[in-house]
Structures are given as C-alpha cells and as structure tokens.
Structure 1
C-alpha cells in the first residue's frame, strides 16, 4: 500500500564436509552442494531484487590451477542467470562425454563453481548503483593462497570514512559508494598481517576479534579465504539476522531460518540462531567452532524483519505477524463504534495478509462474545431460525483492492503520470454498500504515504463507503535507518512531515531552526553522534495527533468522506515481537553512536533542501 521499502540483503554460506564422491553416492549427484545453494538463495529471493553473486573455493587444488571463482549478475532474474551460466558450463562439458558426470574428480577439475566452500549473496542496494560491480561477494586476490579473500554481507556501516582514514586510503568513486569496500580493506589488511605473523596458517579468529569492533553498523557477514577457511559473523547488537545448521555432510548459514529448514528439510530446533557478537568459523579440515569475537551488547534485532522483510513461512514470524494484526483490534473496534455489521475488512499488499488474519481473529473473538451475550439474554425466548441466524454471523471480509500488473508511467508530464499512478491498484466493485459500509484496510507499514494519497484512497472512494480506515501493523516510521534499510531521508517520512506541520499549525516552527543550529554546532565539535536532537520535534505531539495529521495529509481534496489512520503502538509491537526489540526507526533510540550522527545529518539535509542520504 505504502511505497515499497528497499531493505536487507540475503546471505547463503555452505561448507561441504565430505568428498564429492560421497554426495554422488548418497544423493546421486556431485552437484548436490550447488543445488542446495540455489535453493537456499531462491528461498531468500525476497531479500535481493538488485542482483546476486556467488563465490566458490576449491580445496586441495594442484599448484597453478585456479581455486577461487566468482560470478555476479544484476539482471532482473539474477539468481536464475547465475545458475543458468553454471548449468551451461556443465551441459557443454557433458554434451560429448555424458559419463563425466559420474567422475567427481574430473567434474571438480572442469566445473568452476564445484567447490567445497560456497558463498552466495542477494543484493538489495541501499547505496551504490544497481550494476554487477556492486554485487557481493567482493574479492581480494593474492599470489599467496592464504591471502585470498571473498566477503559478502547483509549490512550497512555508518563509519566507512573513518575506516578508510585508518588505513590511509583515499577512497575512489566506487569505494565511496560501497561500505563492503571499506570492510574488505580492513579485514584483508588484518588477514595479511596475521599471515605475516604466522605464515601459511593465519588465525582467522584473532583477525575477526581485531576487526569487528571497528565497524559501526548492523551486519551479518560471510567470508572464505583461499586456503579453505570459512566464517560468518554477526554484529554485537544482533541487528541483522543469522541462522545456521550443521550435520555430518554440511555446514550452512543464512539470513532466514525458514530458508535453511526448507532447503535441507530439517526441524525448527535443528536450525540455530548465531548469537550477537558470535562467529561461526569453519577450518580447512571441515571442523568448526562458534566463538564470541566481540562482546555482545544489548540485543536490538531489527523488528522490521518480523513485520515485513523476512518471509512469513517461518512459524515464529507467522505467529508474530498475526499478533501484530490482533493487537490493533481494540483500536479498530473503537474507531468503527463496534459496528461490525456495517464494516468490511481487507488488506494491501499481499505481505499484509498474515497481519490481516490476526486482525480478523480479534474481530471474530469480539463478535463471538456478543453472540454469547445475546443468546444468554434471550433466556428461552428463541427458535431455531433465530439461533441459526445469530450463530452464523461472521466478520465481513473481501478482496477489495487488487494490485494490477505493474503499469509503466511512460508519460513524463506530471498530470498524466499522476493519472497513471492512480490506476496501479484496482477495486472489486459491489463489495461495499454505498454510504453504509466502512472500509478497513491493513498494511505492513506506511512510510511516505504518496501511494495512499495518489492511488489507494481515491480508488477506495469510488466504492462510496461511509468511511475509510487505514491500519499499519508497524508503528509510525519517524527516523532514518542506517543498518540495512533504504530509509535515510527525513523528508520521505510522512510521520516526520506530519509532526512538522503540527509545529507550523501551532506557530512553533522556530523549533526546527533552533534544532538545525544545534546540529550544526555539534557537527563543528565532532559531536554529532552524542544525541538524537530530532526526537525533540515529536515531544510536543501525541501519537494520535500525528496519526490524525497523517490522515489529513493523505486525504485528497474534495474526497467527501472521512479517512482515519491507526498505527501499531510501540508497546504492542514489543509484545508481538519480544525477541526483536530494535525499534530506532520508530523511537529514535539508536543502538550505536553512528545512528545519532545519521539522524542529525539527515535533519540538516532536510533543512538545507539537500535530497541526499544521511550517511
């Protein structure tokens, strides 16, 4: 419903623990590992619409033969493009010699990506251009085997400039647009230092302990070295998600638990969470250890993972999203004056369906309570028809709004383009009784509100309802994110714009200029990271006042019917998602100092009319 948010990337790490002949014997193919990597990436395709990449390391390769390979793609169907390339190589190899598929040694020697260590990545770009060179994994090649490195991650860093300064590197145009470029330089430098200290066997655990405290951000990162060491590490607040599974055949890590469960057909309890500050390290011989590489801090796992980003096939996420919808029940009942008979419920987009089921449950529970009270009040004064009518009452639900095929706004003239935008969604006619029914629509989140104003509200109004009630299963998005979500400009948030409008309505606009000056003073003293000054903008308004102002702002002129907006409360969010309490985009309580610097810089950009990222 609201404009789509670009968000976290996806990681897929596989370490095969047996020989390729084992997989041929047990599973009928030497391609077992690559097949699993394909599934693991496809089951996380929601995390990467801008590109994908794969790196492979072959163990025990004869001197002079390549042992590290990489392929990347920024095509619309990037995962398919990568594996089609691999399939074509295999098909070409077997075209004239079909039997080679049953010779693991020959297959490994001829198929580039038939390696024991596999690192896959799905890119959802929050910075940089959408072309292949920005896709992970990144590589550092070296003539010494142990100094070869591939890295890929789901993260954002907010201190890349400081990292380059530490190394005495003046970043080029490409490096300035990629935080992985900064991370790669830091990790590789320490890897080389470790190799010089202990030739042929650098201690990767110590390397990680040295580098991870230098990173300010939220991150889950996977890496492989040329000598066959693999690792996955997670930030100390656990901002970005990471899960792993280990058995005799394989060690695997990924961004989503459900992806591992489906790919390897294992139970929920068999897939573990990599805890904040920990690293999964896989040695050359296939042994592994899980170690703390940086002291864990207060857990601030991203709540948006549960609300929207991760796929809802995870059973815990499914329950949490239902709870988010259920938690809105009381507010909705009050807003419709408990008139369920004349209210119809629906959702947009499809990702809001599970929250809708929770809301529907809440409404049905209230209706069941009313049924019981009415039946008990009858005493013996009822007949079969009257009782049947009462028992069969249901919440009215319908597929009111439908997202049509993606329409191209090929006309550049503003009025024509706005006309096209109005028709991105279509409606189901006849579902609403004009002037009688209230429409209740639930969404995952409301960020900018432009789609609501330009398309959704106008479209729903064609059904001539008595009232339109818009629900958000997420709280008001008030602050930028700098840990992996593409939300970095203050002016993009309708909640912020609503708070500003309230200040203007009250004649308190001077507060904005005062805070702007305070931000500039802090920046001059290199103290921009010490306090989130933007929080003061919201202190004079209640959440309800901001919600009402948002409703006013998204209601087109001359609509002729009331529109109300209801958001999830912070308290109910935490009740629904108790293990993912990262809420800085709602509260402004950033887990790292870099967050305060970003929000203050974003506010200065807004005041100065700069349409650029806050970091």
Structure 2
C-alpha cells in the first residue's frame, strides 16, 4: 500500500507536497519522495524512512523548486526495500516523465520482458512502478508528437489499460506540461482530486485520500472514476476522459476496514460511518447468535478498530474501555519481515492497563486478523492481566488468501485463517470465543454509503481475483512473500544504504 499526491499551483508546491505526504503517512512508512518542476528543471529527493526523516532539513525543501510536483510514501509490495526503489521514478523519453504509483501490477514480469524485447526500454529496479512508468512513456512515445496534448495523454492511458493488469492509481508529471492522474479500470485503489481558489487563480491537487486535500484547504471535486484519466496542465486547465473500454467499480474492501484514515471520504463513502456500521453489524451478530453472552467490557485493539468497537458496545449496551496504551513509533507488525520480530514488536507496541482486564469477561475488537501473531500475543497479554475470559471479534471476515493488489499480506500458508475452521482459529489464538464479521454485512456497511458500489475486491476473503490470475502466479508469489525471502531483502537493502 502506498500514498500518492500531485499538485499544480500558482505558488511553490514543496511544502504542500510535504504536508500532504505526512497526512498520507499511514499508507506507507518505508520511504518517501517528492519531485517538483519549474517548467525547465526537475528537483528530486527520495529516501527510506518516514516523511520527516526523508526531508530533515530546510535545505532539502529549498532545493525542491517549482509550482508543480508529485509525491509518494511507500511500503513495498513488489521489489525490495532498497532506497533505489523509493518513488517517484523518472524517465527522460519522451518529454521527461515522473511517476508515483499505488497498487501492484500482476503481469509486471511479462511487461518487463516485453519492454526489453519490443520497446528497447531497460528496467533498473525490481519495482513494478518503474515498469508502469515505462509502459506509459512508451505509449506516449508511439504517438510521436512534438508536444504533448490532452488527447495524447488519454490515448497513452488507454494503452496502459490494454497492457497492464492488476491495481494501479497513478500520478505522473510531464516536466513542462502538467500532471496526470489515472486509475485502473476496476478502480481497486482510491484516487480523488480537488481544487482551491486563490488570488492568482485555481490550484489543483490529486491524492490517494480526501484528507490530504481538505487539510490544506482544497475543496473535493470528485473521485477519479475507474479507468478515467484527468490531466491538469501547468497553466491550470483541467481535462478528463474515460480511457477504458469496460470500466467498473471493484473497490478494495480492505481500504474501508483498515488502511484508509477514518476521516477520509472514499468513492463517496465516509470511512468513519462505514466502520460504525461494521461495529453495529457485529453487535447484531452477537445478539442473534449469542443471546446469553456474558461480556463485561469491550476493548478495542488500537487504533483502527476503535470506531467499530465503540459502536458495538453502544448497540449491545456493554461498557466500552480503552485497555491498551500504544507506542506510536512502532511500524505495522503484519508487514515486518520475521516472526520473532513481529512478536517482539507487539509487546513494545501495546501495553495493557491491567485494571481494565482483571476479573472481567473481555471482548477484544480488531479490524482484522491476518497472520494471527499480533492477536495471539495480545490475547496472552490480556490473560496475564487477569481477564476471566477472553473473547475476540474481527470487523472483517477471515483473511484466508493473499492480497495481490497492493497490500503486502503474506503467502497463504502464513495466514492464520487459511485452511482452518473458526474453531481451529480460536484455538490457535487462545481465545474462549471468536466472532468474525460476515462478508455480506461488511459489504453492506460500505454500500449503505454509496449504493452504486455493487461489486468489491474481496479476494482476501474469497480467493476470487478480478484479474483472474493462474496458479503459476501464486506459486511465484508464495516464494516471493515467504519470510525467508523478505529477510534476505532486508539484509540486501541494509547493504544498499
């Protein structure tokens, strides 16, 4: 998962790009980068680490000159964690194009070979984002125009749609001309744009989430539609066109469950309200299936599950309490490379308040259960704090299959729910009762906000992938995502640094 942003302004954009990336920091904590243009020259800085680490001094910001630019925050789902794979990427031909990408191309291996053999383009990293940049550049190059036009942009994006499969939300900057934003034909990853009126004229921003816009005074115009491209010229003219032949919404459900900020509006759905509905439906499931429950207290596992847990408690008429203090300087545990590291990190990340657990029947609520490592450690911590019984509720259904569209969920064999019944998962986690959200209830929680969303990417729950990948792809994915492979990449990246 990554966060992307692009701005066309009447003033220098470096500070706004920085501020926007800090708002999107939750979408990627591995690396950050910004590239700006003054119409003639590019200025680029990208580095491993958080936004504040990548741009530590005022000199870093002063060097990023220009009224147009794009930015990116990353955690890697393809390639390695090497600083060389931090985005944005740049290619000189044609026109000078910089690109930042959120998602994952499922045919990147074939595309890389195709670019080498047929297009004579060379890919220098393992990143599928560099592949996507070169596909877009080659599609523009084919048009052989002296100067890029909106029609050229839209024809090139249409070419990308024909060649690329998987998930991709993209911002790209043509050095002299403007900024492009486009979304894959299924709209799996989010992308939105807005405007802000100034004395000099209207500024525009494209970003992964609406919060990046509204926190800087931009008014939301709308979500970019699946398959659509929007082109904002350097002088502030906006052009938009549907570039896919059969676009449809197959939005990722996990965005609403976990990744998006609760204050975001995504495909016209308020994420906070969707999570409230998830908690309400979990409570209804308890009322229907466990009428004589003996829950004394409902406690969220911070942070994402708070909204659902509070709504669940209010619906059931059960006390809600905060039972964990979170260290906010520990990264997300399910993407850490080794099992030992993940277990150690859980204890450093969360510290229980014993008096909230002692002698009580506790219902823990989390947004999801992926590997189960974090959940198992937390359950043991709660028992050590003196809980009488420990129950567990997940705001999403069992995660049984890997994600291939930009969320670095592990190989299927590492998922605690893969090939296990609910009872077996409960035993593995060490809980007295385990409740999962039903898939239909989860989908309804989102569609109540926008009834035009009728189909979702729910592949992590069902194993059904909209791009129809074959067994060979998943066999390769299994190897690539195995813990041993990840640890090798981390070591290799340390050498790069």
With the length of structure 2 as denominator, give the TM-score of the two structures. 0.84
Deviation at 1:114, TM superposition (A): 2.3
**Mapped partners of 2:391, 2:8: distance in 1:** 50
1:402 aligns with 2:395: no
1:565 aligns with 2:490: no
1:160 aligns with 2:108: yes
**Mapped partners of 2:274, 2:388: distance in 1:** 32
Mapping for residues 32-181 of structure 1, pairs under 5 Å? 33-59=13-39, 61=40, 67-74=41-48, 76-77=49-50, 79-85=51-57, 87-88=58-59, 112-141=63-92, 147-169=95-117, 174-175=124-125, 177-181=126-130
Q: What residue is the counterpart of 1:445 in the other structure?
A: 368
Q: What residue is the counterpart of 1:482 in the other structure?
A: 404
Using a 3 Å threshold, how does the CA distance of structure 1 residues 329 and 148 change in structure 2: closer, same or farther?
same
**Mapped partners of 1:416, 1:287: distance in 2:** 50
**Mapped partners of 2:345, 2:16: distance in 1:** 42
Using a 3 Å threshold, how does the CA distance of structure 1 residues 595 and 275 change in structure 2: closer, same or farther?
farther
The 8 Å contact of residues 323 and 355 in structure 1, kept in 2 or not, is answered as: yes
**Mapped partners of 2:127, 2:441: distance in 1:** 36
**Mapped partners of 1:415, 1:123: distance in 2:** 24
Q: What residue is the counterpart of 2:238 in the other structure?
A: 288
Deviation at 1:191, TM superposition (A): 2.2
**Mapped partners of 1:353, 1:292: distance in 2:** 38
Q: What residue is the counterpart of 1:473 in the other structure?
A: 395
Using a 3 Å threshold, how does the CA distance of structure 1 residues 593 and 131 change in structure 2: closer, same or farther?
same
Using a 3 Å threshold, how does the CA distance of structure 1 residues 415 and 137 change in structure 2: closer, same or farther?
closer
Q: What residue is the counterpart of 2:467 in the other structure?
A: 592
Q: Deviations over 1:416-475 (max 9, x none)?
A: 9978966754322233453xx31101001000112222x212111124433211011011
Gapped runs of 5+ residues in structure 2? 332-338, 448-452, 487-497
Deviation at 1:129, TM superposition (A): 2.5
Mapping for residues 30-429 of structure 1, pairs under 5 Å? 31=12, 33-59=13-39, 61=40, 67-74=41-48, 76-77=49-50, 79-85=51-57, 87-88=58-59, 112-141=63-92, 147-169=95-117, 174-175=124-125, 177-194=126-143, 196=144, 198-201=145-148, 203-247=152-196, 248-264=201-217, 266=219, 270-314=220-264, 316-333=270-287, 337-339=291-293, 343-364=296-317, 395-403=318-326, 425-429=350-354
**Mapped partners of 1:42, 1:294: distance in 2:** 32
With the length of structure 1 as denominator, give the TM-score of the two structures. 0.69
Greater mean deviation of Cα atoms: 131-140 or 327-336: 327-336
State the SS of the aligned residue for 2:469. helix
Deviation at 1:610, TM superposition (A): 9.4
Q: Deviations over 1:122-156 (max 9, x none)?
A: 111112232321111101125xxx52111111111
The 8 Å contact of residues 422 and 458 in structure 1, kept in 2 or not, is answered as: no
State the SS of the aligned residue for 2:252. coil
Deviation at 1:405, TM superposition (A): 7.6
**Mapped partners of 1:482, 1:296: distance in 2:** 21
The 8 Å contact of residues 8 and 204 in structure 2, kept in 1 or not, is answered as: yes
1:9 aligns with 2:2: yes
State the SS of the aligned residue for 1:329. helix
The 8 Å contact of residues 481 and 487 in structure 1, kept in 2 or not, is answered as: yes
The 8 Å contact of residues 183 and 229 in structure 2, kept in 1 or not, is answered as: yes
Deviation at 1:351, TM superposition (A): 1.6
**Mapped partners of 1:229, 1:475: distance in 2:** 42
**Mapped partners of 1:407, 1:39: distance in 2:** 21
Q: What residue is the counterpart of 1:461 in the other structure?
A: 383
Deviation at 1:172, TM superposition (A): 8.0
Deviation at 1:117, TM superposition (A): 1.6
**Mapped partners of 1:548, 1:444: distance in 2:** 19
Q: What residue is the counterpart of 2:491 in the other structure?
A: none
Task: Select the structure that is richer in helix.
Answer: 1
Q: What residue is the counterpart of 1:526 in the other structure?
A: none
Using a 3 Å threshold, how does the CA distance of structure 1 residues 237 and 417 change in structure 2: closer, same or farther?
closer
Q: Deviations over 1:449-507 (max 9, x none)?
A: 12222x21211112443321101101111111111000241111111142xxxxxxxxx
Using a 3 Å threshold, how does the CA distance of structure 1 residues 129 and 433 change in structure 2: closer, same or farther?
closer
Deviation at 1:275, TM superposition (A): 0.5
The 8 Å contact of residues 104 and 405 in structure 2, kept in 1 or not, is answered as: yes
Gapped runs of 5+ residues in structure 1? 1-7, 21-30, 62-66, 91-110, 365-394, 409-413, 499-545, 556-561
Q: Deviations over 1:244-287 (max 9, x none)?
A: 01344212100001221121253xxx331000000001235431
**Mapped partners of 2:341, 2:33: distance in 1:** 39
The 8 Å contact of residues 194 and 205 in structure 2, kept in 1 or not, is answered as: yes
Greater mean deviation of Cα atoms: 572-581 or 317-326: 572-581
Q: In the comparison of the two structures, how many residue pairs are matched?
A: 460
**Mapped partners of 1:137, 1:461: distance in 2:** 46
Using a 3 Å threshold, how does the CA distance of structure 1 residues 55 and 423 change in structure 2: closer, same or farther?
closer
The 8 Å contact of residues 480 and 487 in structure 1, kept in 2 or not, is answered as: yes
Using a 3 Å threshold, how does the CA distance of structure 1 residues 420 and 53 change in structure 2: closer, same or farther?
closer
Using a 3 Å threshold, how does the CA distance of structure 1 residues 52 and 564 change in structure 2: closer, same or farther?
same
